[in-house]
Amino acid sequence: MSWHCPLPTRDLLPGYVTLSHLYKKFGELDAVKDVDLSIARGEFFSLLGPSGCGKTTTLRLLAGLEELDAGEISISGETVATVQSSIPPEKRGVGIVFQDYALFPHLTVFANVAFGLYGMNKEIIKSRVQEMLTLVGLQNSGGQYPHELSGGQKQRVALARTLAPCPSVILLDEPFSNLDAELRDALRLETKEILRASGSTVILVTHDQEEALSLSDRVGVMNGGHLEQVGTPYEIYHQPATRFVANFVGKADFFRATIREGQVVSNIGSFPLLSPYDALEGEVDLMVRPDDVTLTPDPLGTGTIVEARFLGGDAVYRVALPEQTYLHSQRMSANLLDVGSRVLVEVNLPHVVIFPRR
């Protein structure tokens, strides 16, 4: 006898999980402020932000582990939490993988995975647990105890345990942060494969931008309890909506500039204003990513390399420009440039992001 989850539907039906104007206070602190979000069925969504930005609180509100102060949460068309009423966590059909995995130390791996299948037919439980353990590559570890497992194995068990009862949404709370770098990369990919195959709707909470950008269909960047921007990884990186997002995701240099009659004038040069900024006028800031800056050795160039950091495949240069202006450039390291040499600096203009000065 065996049992499977209802056939996965990764139809990206919008509005599968919706958070409407969520607020949560801890004492005087606004942990979550007016968070408004809609996640599609089968989507892999990440909440990215520094520690204390409210991303974990948002996740806990979604799971029913905290009660909200305002707003509404619905999953699959059903309202699960408002200020007045809240469906308890055990009835929401939401699975969580915790940062510390929260494996039950007194139960075997098998019993851990079986925990959420409580009350089902013994045979079904057995086959389902075995299926889950096989899925995460631990088919022979059912009899072990959590303290006998490595960090990576614990993470896999936690995933199997969460998937076993077929949750409608899977929440991952920094699930890779307790692993060392090498294992982390491998497990990220593996986890994504498993979750993709299961067709699950996934919400990942992380402070690691690389993790969010590489795994997700869409990313929401949070700061101070507020959602700063929601978009695809490309949009988050190349079209940051706020200075915070620009700074938090990837490296960026900022320059003061003035826009007059469709012309941008700045320390790094002047150029015509491009869309979508046509309407801007006056004092602005320009944001330039190091990978949008090209350096060409040129004895007559305006830039001087003052620092070179070798990163393996790439090298990052700090370039001095006239008027005490500095700019970073990330280039392939095959043709390493010397500190002190003169370079011609070119910026990929369509990639320059312009923020009106407050």
Partner 1 sequence: MNTQGHPPSVNQGKRPSRLLPLVLYVTIALVVLPVLVVASSLLHPSLAVWTHLGQTILPLLLQNTAVLLVGVSLGTLVLGTSLAWLITAYDFPGRDKFRWLLVLPMAIPAYVMGFIYMALFDFAGPFHTLVRSVWGAQAYFPPIRSGGGAILVMTLTLYPYVFLLAKAGFEEQTGSHFEAARALGSSRARAFFALALPLARPSIAAGVALAAMEALADFATVRYFNFPTIADGILRVWHGLMDLGAASELAGLLAIFSLLMLLFEQKNRGRTKYYQTRGRLPGLPETRLVGGRGLLAALFCAFVLFASFGLPVGQLLMWAGREIANITPPVMATYVELAMNSILLATIAAILVVLIALVVASLSRLKDKKSLQSLARLVTIGYAIPGAVIAVGILLPLSFIDRSINAFTSAWWGFTPGLLLTGSLVGLMYAYIVRFMAIAYSSVDASLEKISPNTVLAARALGANAQRVMFAVQLPLITPGVIAGAVLVFVDVMKELPITVMMRPMGYDTLAVWVWQMASESLWTSTAIPALIIVLVGLVPIKFLLDASSSRTEKQTSQILMRKDH
Question: Of the two residues 75 and 252, which places its CB atom closer to partner 1 in the complex?
Answer: 75
Burial class for 292, CB neighbours closer than 10 Å (0-12, 13-18, 19+) = buried
Contact 266, 256 (CB under 8 A): yes
Nearer of residues 174 and 253 to partner 1, judged by Cβ = 174
- Least distance in angstroms from the C-beta of 111 to partner 1: 10
Q: How far is the CB of 142 from partner 1 (least distance, A)?
A: 17
Interaction of residue 102 with partner 1, rule CB under 8 A? yes
Residue 118 sits in the site that holds partner 1 (CB under 8 A): yes
Interatomic CA distance for residues 154 and 57, integer angstroms: 24
Nearer to partner 1, 138 or 345 (CB): 138
CB of 93 to partner 1, least distance (A): 8
Euclidean distance between CA atoms 336 and 10, whole angstroms: 46
Would you call 2 exposed, middle or buried from its count of C-beta atoms within 10 A (0-12, 13-18, 19+)?
exposed
| Nearest to partner 1 of 90, 123 (CB atom) | 90
Query: CA-CA distance, 128 to 348, in Å (whole number)?
Result: 53
Per CB under 8 A, 65 contacts partner 1:
yes
Please pick, from the candidates 22, 40, 63, 129, the single residue that binds partner 1 as defined by CB under 8 A.
63
- Interaction of residue 207 with partner 1, rule CB under 8 A: no
Least distance from partner 1 to the Cβ atom of residue 198, Å: 16
Out of 42, 54, 95, 290, point to the residue binding partner 1 (CB under 8 A). Answer: 95
List the x/- string, 230-259, binding to partner 1 by CB under 8 A.
------------------------------
Positions in 126-155 near partner 1 (CB under 8 A): 145, 147
Q: Does 52 bind partner 1 (CB under 8 A)?
A: no
Shortest reach from residue 114's CB to partner 1, in Å = 10
237 vs 209: CA distance, rounded Å: 10
Taking a C-beta distance cutoff of 8 angstroms, is the pair 332, 314 a contact?
Answer: yes
Instruction: For residue 166, count other CB atoms closer than 10 A to its CB.
Output: 17
Q: Considering beta carbons, is residue 85 or 335 the nearer one to partner 1?
A: 85
Binding part of the chain for partner 1, among 1-9, 45-53, 94-102, 348-356 by CB under 8 A, reads 94-102
DSSP symbol at 340: T
Out of 71, 116, 220, 250, name the contact with partner 1 by CB under 8 A.
Answer: 116
Which contacts qualify for 315-323: CB closer than 8 Å, 24 or more apart?
A: 316/251, 316/290, 319/293, 319/295, 319/343, 319/345, 321/267, 321/268, 321/345, 322/267, 323/267
Least distance (Å) between residue 119 CB and partner 1:
9
- What's the gap between Cα 56 and its chain centre? 12
**Distance in angstroms (rounded) separating the CA atoms of residues 282 and 286:** 12
- For the bound state, the minimum distance from the C-beta of residue 86 to partner 1, rounded and expressed in Å, comes to 12
Nearer CB in complex with partner 1: 6/88: 88
3-state SS of 11-22? CCCCCCEEEEEE
β-strands 17-26, 29-39 pairing: antiparallel
Smallest distance from the beta carbon of 97 to partner 1, in angstroms?
A: 9
* Interaction of residue 3 with partner 1, rule CB under 8 A: no
3-state secondary structure 126-165: HHHHHHHHHHCCCCCCCCCCHHHCCHHHHHHHHHHHHHCC
Stretch that binds partner 1, among 104-112, 128-136, 202-210, 292-300 (CB under 8 A): 104-112
Residues that bind partner 1 (CB under 8 A): 63-65, 88-92, 94-96, 98-100, 102, 104-106, 115-116, 118, 145, 147, 161-162, 165
